[in-house]
Amino acid sequence: MSEAGSGPPGPSGLQRAVRTYLDHLVVERGLADNTLSSYRRDLRRYVGFLAGQGIHDPTAVEEAVVTAFLRALREGDADHPPLSAGSAARTVVAVRGFHRFALREGLSTVDPSAAVRPPAPARRLPKALPLSDIERILEAAGAPGTALALRDRALLEVLYGTGARISEAVGLDVDDLDLDGTDGTAQGTVLLRGKGGKERVVPIGSFACEAVSAYLVRGRPELAGVGTGVAALFLNARGGRLSRQSAWTVLTRAADRAGVVAEVSPHTLRHSFATHLLDGGADVRVVQELLGHASVTTTQVYTLVTVDSLREVYATAHPRARA
């Protein structure tokens, strides 16, 4: 008969707590398999890190240890490459969820992760296209002169001319347009419905007005003739409302035909709209209203994009800018 304790050691208190938490995620939270696999992988790495610190029980974990784990994620080691801010943040979310669970279930007396914040991902600056690329894309969209080409040109002119989100553009109805300025303004306007159903009226310039007018007269009636009379402004080949995916395809095909090699998406036109306005001297709060941003902080990221133009003006205008 073998002596007691001669077999392999059982799981530590920390490992048992993690297993209980993962079971909770499956039974109580019903997480998807892929999400659960991510949690399992992240917590396995966390348990391994703690074991390397000589910690095998959730009650022994302190805030400094969780912070050190976050630092290790970002720096990497012999077995793991450094993680991006986004990947490290995902791992920290799993760790914080585990410690909140352990405290709630009485498996620990404190939550050492409560004050540890996931790293903020690096803020990616919007990429605006130069005006020459925008013009080439717009010309390429309307080249064939068919009903669909007229629609495509009108769609892209509206996207760039108003800074509308793709969902806002395809959600437009004909009645949302005022191309003649009948509301008392000197130019046309368009009613956009943004996030949370918030509405805003945005001016629409002469180029977009002309493109939309041409589409309404010579293109939309042909497309509407095969449909069921929907109110949508932009119609597909079957007479129904154009989808976001189809609108995206319209832009990418026009960019390909124009020979624009930069990555282009509907948001690229929105970024370009905002950047070109600011480069032209528009006030950031006016751009905020046009874009439908709830906070000016969101819009201010575009002011960073224009720093190159600021440097150019400074270099040419300031008497002590150059030797």
Would you call 99 a catalytic residue per the annotation?
Answer: no
Catalytic residue among 96, 270, 271, 276: 270
DSSP output for 214-258:
HHHHHTHHHHHTTS----BSSB-TTSSBPPHHHHHHHHHHHHHHH
* Number of structural domains in the chain: 2
Q: Confirm whether 118 is domain-assigned.
A: no
Residue 245 lies in a domain: yes
**Whether pTM exceeds 0.75:** no
302 is catalytic: yes
Q: Which of 104, 117, 195, 218 is catalytic?
A: 195
Q: Are residues 145 and 210 in the same domain?
A: yes
pLDDT of residue 311: 67
In this structure, the answer to whether residues 176 and 311 fall within a common structural domain is yes
Block means of pLDDT (10 residues each) for the chain, 323 residues, are 45 87 84 85 93 92 93 87 86 92 92 86 72 94 89 96 93 92 64 87 91 95 89 95 94 94 88 88 87 78 64 70 62
The predicted pLDDT at position 126 comes to: 60
Q: In residues, how long is the chain?
A: 323
321 located within any domain: no
77 and 151 in one domain? no
Sheet bearing 188-193, strands edge to edge: 177-178, 188-193, 199-204
The 3-state secondary structure of 83-123, one letter per residue:
CCHHHHHHHHHHHHHHHHHHHHCCCCCCCCCCCCCCCCCCC
**Same domain membership, residue 281 and residue 136:** yes
Same domain for 177 and 299? yes
* pLDDT number for residue 186: 47
Name 219's Cβ contacts closer than 8 Å, sequence gap at least 6: 146, 147, 148, 149, 150, 151, 154
Instruction: Using the structure block, give the residue that is written with the tokens 């190159």.
Output: 308
The answer to whether residues 50 and 151 belong to one domain is: no
Domain of residue 282, CATH code: 1.10.443.10
The answer on 166 and 79 residing in a single domain is: no
Q: Is residue 120 part of a domain?
A: no
* Residue 125 domain flag: no
Q: Which of 21, 160, 215, 302 is catalytic?
A: 302
Predicted pLDDT of residue 8: 42
Q: Which of 104, 122, 154 is the last residue of a domain?
A: 104
Where in the sequence is the domain holding 239, given as residue range(s)? 131-315
Our answer to whether residue 127 is catalytic in this structure is: no
**What is the model's pLDDT at position 251?**
95
CA 297/CA 310 separation, integer angstroms: 20
Catalytic pick among 136, 193, 271, 293: 293
117 lies in some domain = no
136 and 177: one domain? yes
The pLDDT assigned to 9 comes to 52
80 is catalytic: no
- Tell me if 111 is assigned to some domain: no
- For residue 184, being part of any structural domain is answered with yes
Residues 76 and 146 in one domain: no
Residues with Cβ within 8 Å of residue 296, at least 6 apart in sequence = 284, 285, 288
Question: How deeply is 228 buried, as exposed, middle or buried, from its count of CB atoms within 10 A (0-12, 13-18, 19+)?
Answer: exposed
76 and 154 assigned to the same domain: no
pLDDT value of residue 306: 62
CATH code for the domain of 18: 1.10.150
Q: What is the pLDDT of residue 322?
A: 63
Return the pLDDT at 95.
94
Out of 45, 99, 153, 165, the active site residue is 165
Do 174 and 81 fall into the same domain? no
The domain boundary, picked from 104, 122, 147, lies at 104
